[in-house]
Structure 1
Amino acid sequence: MAFNKVVAVLTVGLAAVHGAVPTIPGFSLTWSDDFVGSANSLPNTGNWIIDTGTSYPGGPANWGTGEIQTYTSSVNNLRINGNGALQITAIKASSGSWTSARIESQRGDFMAQAGGKMRIQASLNLPVVGSNGIGYWPAFWTLGNAYRGNYWNWPAIGEFDIMENVNGINRVWGVMHCGVNPGGPCKETDGLVGSRECPNTACQGNFHTYTLEVDRTAELEAVRWFVDGILFWQVVETDLPADVWTQAVHSPHFILLNFPLA
């Protein structure tokens, strides 16, 4: 394949401080990846599944979103950078086709237990794309583990978009998907959406910490989204029918990182 240009690079560290997994008061660390490894190596396959192609086997085309790239396991698209971070690179070939990368956690049991609280957090440096950012869609998110092997039960299984960024805009979105599509209690296909600009410095070209918190400690359960510790969106239990909340929030999820083009 002839490469026209490297368009954009998403740099990821699953930690609040680049290259180091933080200690968060009140929480016990149950899983992490600091992406320490040799430069130009793939991420640890004990932790991650590397998705390839344009769909899951038997699943919706274009990953169900209309994205146009092909995911690969090439270090041109996915690599440890040797400095404690993972880089996902979207590349446009001379033919006009795109390649990029998508990984998902091997573990699919991330959930808050009854009476407990869970946080999923990563430090992300979004690509600087200037005026050429139309279609760029880097994301850090989760899906209900019941999606695996079925691939047609979205959005009932639940999806939490911890961080989405579109078109190179200095703004991040947090989204919850649930229920039925179209419409339903989560207003699909849009989902229940909150957003804000990154604090202090632009989202692009700087590390910011994105956090999802599922809180089942209070009588009124909640899902919350933070950037750099600042709460910018939440959905509470009474916003949704009880059965919908239970299926989306009380069920195990897996984690995804990807850089699609749409």
Structure 2
Amino acid sequence: MRYSNLAVLLVLLMAAASCSTEKNYRLVWNDEFDYTGLPDSTKWAYDQEGNPHGWGNDEAQFYTKGRKENAWVEDGLLHITALEESYGDKAFTSARLISKADWQYGKVEVRAKLPEARGSWAAIWMMPGGWSFNDGNWPAIGEIDIMEHVGHDKGVVHASAHSKDYQWQTGTQQTGTIKVDDATDAFHLYGLEWTPDTMKAFVDGELYFTYANEKLGVDKWPYNKPFYLIMNVAVGGAWGRVEGIDSLAFPQTMEVDYVRIYQK
């Protein structure tokens, strides 16, 4: 979506004013994607460390860097696109963008439209500041999933928190789901509110996941430190390929209208 600079400013001022009165939140970081070209290099980096290892999850894509075919901003939208093409030793390419800033607690809002192909696995999520794939120690270090969507379960959106004691490999992750029938056809606002005591996930303001800090230590709540934001479209993987990959349906794109971070 393309807006004039004045319109963008008015939207931000209204959003900031609204959040300053709602639990005293204020806008501290954002990308409105009101430009054309590669994602803003002052705000985003490309994560590639896990490519040789399938990201520990046997994923089918190679995440590229600075390649417009996989990550491009135009008409007010960020496009993260997974393509079927041979690249490196993979059969698909895509992009995995990570924010160059991190935050401890606050509110995250990402307005996005999701891909739909069987085999696609779109995600908006967070990992601890300074951590990278080669550091390991997952899931003990913590992971916050604001939105996950797999193409074979179209319209079902997930939010989760993973830790040493609560994680998907043992089926113990703290998680919630919501049905968003037109998630792949329309934009929706995916949100997280994170405080020292609770983690809550929303779609269009509707609460569907709450995880309260049990005060039982870092094995259950490793979320008392800064986390950075990740946006990506994976292909396959342990979850994404459950019903196979419909390669004829690619390319597949997650479109992002804006990213906004608020803190008290």
Q: TM-score, normalised by structure 2?
A: 0.75
What is the DSSP-based 3-state SS (H/G/I as helix, E as strand, rest coil) of the residue aligned with 1:61? helix
Q: CA deviation at 1:241?
A: 2.5
Q: Which amino acid aligns with 1:251?
A: K
Q: Which amino acid aligns with 1:31?
A: W
Query: Aligned residues, how many?
Result: 218
What is the DSSP-based 3-state SS (H/G/I as helix, E as strand, rest coil) of the residue aligned with 1:259? strand
Is 1:47 paired with 2:43? yes
Q: Which has the higher helix share?
A: 2
Against the structure 1 CA distance between its residues 223 and 155, is the aligned structure 2 distance closer, same or farther, given a 3 Å change threshold?
A: same
Is 1:251 paired with 2:245? no
Unaligned runs of 5+ in 1: 1-10, 12-17, 113-117
When the two chains are superposed, the root-mean-square deviation of aligned CA atoms in Å is 2.6
Is 1:29 paired with 2:27? yes
Q: Which amino acid aligns with 1:171?
A: V
For 1:88 and 1:162, locate their aligned partners in 2 and report how far apart those are by CA, in whole Å: 17
- In the TM superposition, 1:204-243 aligns within 5 A as 204-216=184-196, 221-238=197-214, 241-243=216-218
For 1:53 and 1:74, locate their aligned partners in 2 and report how far apart those are by CA, in whole Å: 16
Against the structure 1 CA distance between its residues 64 and 214, is the aligned structure 2 distance closer, same or farther, given a 3 Å change threshold?
A: same
Taking every aligned residue pair, what percent have the same amino acid on both sides? 29
Against the structure 1 CA distance between its residues 205 and 222, is the aligned structure 2 distance closer, same or farther, given a 3 Å change threshold?
A: same
The correspondence for 1:119, drawn from 84, 107, 127, is 107
Partner of 2:69: 76
Against the structure 1 CA distance between its residues 76 and 146, is the aligned structure 2 distance closer, same or farther, given a 3 Å change threshold?
A: closer
Is 1:261 paired with 2:235? yes
For 1:241 and 1:154, locate their aligned partners in 2 and report how far apart those are by CA, in whole Å: 19
Partner of 2:174: 192
Is 1:154 paired with 2:138? yes
For 1:230 and 1:50, locate their aligned partners in 2 and report how far apart those are by CA, in whole Å: 31
Return the structure number with greater relative CO, CA threshold 8 A, min gap 6.
2
Q: TM-score, normalised by structure 1?
A: 0.75
For 2:224 and 2:83, locate their aligned partners in 1 and report how far apart those are by CA, in whole Å: 38
Q: Which has the higher strand share?
A: 2
Q: CA deviation at 1:149?
A: 7.4
Against the structure 1 CA distance between its residues 223 and 159, is the aligned structure 2 distance closer, same or farther, given a 3 Å change threshold?
A: same
For 1:148 and 1:70, locate their aligned partners in 2 and report how far apart those are by CA, in whole Å: 17
For 1:44 and 1:54, locate their aligned partners in 2 and report how far apart those are by CA, in whole Å: 22
Partner of 2:123: 139
Is 1:62 paired with 2:54? yes
Q: CA deviation at 1:54?
A: 4.7
Unaligned runs of 5+ in 2: 2-7, 237-264
Q: CA deviation at 1:150?
A: 5.0
Against the structure 1 CA distance between its residues 189 and 257, is the aligned structure 2 distance closer, same or farther, given a 3 Å change threshold?
A: farther
The correspondence for 2:160, drawn from 170, 175, 182, is 175
